[in-house]
Structure 1
C-alpha cells in the first residue's frame, strides 16, 4: 500500500486546477511553528528548514503559502488565538467574564509559552510588533466595546478610563499565562474574581 506524505498531498492539491490548497499541510506547518516555539525555540532562531522537517513537508510547500518567516509567525499567532469571541451583549459583567475566561483557559496557558518566546522579537523589531498588534487589536476592541456599552447604559462609571480598565483586565491574565507569576491565585473562578475586583472600582 502506497502512503502519501503531507507534502505529496499538498503538491497533488496544488496541481489540481481550481482546487484550494491542502488544509492539512497548512495545519501541519502552523502546528510545527507553535510546537517549536513552545519547546523554547526563539523566533529569531526559528528556521523554515526546521519547520518543514517538523511538519513533514518540503520548504517549497511553505514558501508557496508564506513569503517569509515573519508572515508565517504572524499567521501562527493568529491561529493560536483562535476565532474572535462574541459577547452575548446582555450583561457587561457576564461578557467580561467570558472574555477573560477565553484568555485564561488551558489552551491559552500553553500558548503563553509561545508568546514568551516571541517577546524578544517584538521588542527588537518594530515591524514584528506592528504586525502582532494587528492580530491583537481586534480582540482588545471587543473588550473596549463591552466597556463602552457599560458606560453608555449606566452599568459602569461615566468617567471610566476605558484603556486603563482594559489593561487591568488583560494584563494579569497575560502575565499568569506566560509566567504563572502568582501561583497563589487559583485557576478556579479566576475570571469571575478578576472581573469582580475591577468592577468594584468601575461600576456605576
Structure 2
C-alpha cells in the first residue's frame, strides 16, 4: 500500500498573545530571506512559507511589511549599546565604527530594505522616522555627557549632531563603502567635534 507523507507541521499561535517560538521562527525566516534573496523576494507569503506559519498570525502580530522589517532590524541590533569611555571623541568614533561593522554583518541588507520600502510606503516612512528619532535621542546621550564634562559647548543640540554624524554612516551604507578605515572615521568625528568643542 502506498504511504502518504505528512505535510510539515505548522507552528501554532495562541491568539493575540505572541508564541515566543513562533515569533522567533517568523523573525528568523524574514531575516534569512532578506539576507539570502534580497528585498525583492521579501513578502509576508514568503515569510509564512519559510517559517511554517499562517499569514493571519503574521498579520495579527505585524500589521504591515514595514513593521516586520523593523522588528527584524531591532532583533539584529539589540546588543548594540552607547559607549561611555569618558571621552566624547572616542565615544562618537566607537558609535560610528560599531554601526558600520553591524551593517557589514548582514544588518545593512535589512536596513537598506527598510529604506527602500519607505520610499513608496507611507507607513514604512513613518515607522522609519519614529525609529530614527528614538535612536538619535538615545545616542545623543554621548553629546550630553560631553556637555556635562565641559568638552562640548552647552548650546549644542545633541540629537541634531548625531543626525549629522549618522548621515556620514548612511552615505557609506547606501554607496556600498562600509569598509571605512578607523582613520577616516576618526577624521570625520574630529571635523564635527572641532566645531562644537568648548574652548
Q: Please report the TM-score for the alignment, with normalisation by the length of structure 1.
A: 0.72
1:174 to 160, 163, 170: 170
Q: Does 1:33 align with 2:30?
A: yes
Alignment of 1:39-54 (within 5 A): 39-42=37-40, 46-54=42-50
Q: Secondary structure at the match of 1:108?
A: helix
Aligned pair in 2 of structure 1 residues 167, 66: CA closer, same or farther (>3 Å)?
Answer: closer
Q: Give the paired residue count.
A: 190
* Aligned 8 A contact 2:141 2:158 in 1: no
Match of 1:143 in 2: 139
Q: Which residue of 2 aligns with 1:192?
A: 186
Distance in 2 of aligned mates of 1:182 and 1:48: 29
Structure 1 residue 139: Cα displacement: 1.7
* 2:39–2:113 contact (8 Å) kept in structure 1: yes
Determine if contact 1:112/1:174 at 8 Å carries over to the other structure.
no
Separation (CA, whole Å) in 1 of partners of 2:55 and 2:19: 15
Length-normalised TM-score, structure 2 = 0.74
Specify whether residues 86 and 166 from structure 1 end up closer, same or farther in structure 2 by C-alpha distance, changes over 3 A only: closer
Unaligned runs of 5+ residues in structure 1 are none
How far does residue 51 in structure 1 lie from its aligned partner after superposition? 0.8
Contact 2:66–2:123 (Cα < 8 Å) also in 1: no
Given candidates 127, 131, 134, the residue that maps to 1:131 is 127
The root-mean-square deviation of aligned C-alpha atoms, in Å, is: 3.3
Preserved contact between residue 147 and residue 153 of structure 2 (Cα < 8 Å):
yes
User: 1:107-138 CA deviation, whole Å, 9 max, x = no partner?
Assistant: 32222222223323212233221112222222
Distance 1:175 1:27 in 2: 31
Match runs of 1:1-204 below 5 Å: 8=10, 10-11=11-12, 14=14, 21-23=19-21, 25-38=22-35, 39-42=37-40, 46-83=42-79, 85-88=81-84, 90-105=86-101, 107-109=102-104, 110-160=106-156, 162-181=158-177, 185-186=180-181, 188-189=182-183, 191-204=185-198
**Unaligned stretches of 5+ residues in structure 2:** 1-7
Secondary structure of 2:42's aligned partner: coil
Alpha-carbon shift at residue 64 of structure 1 (Å): 4.9
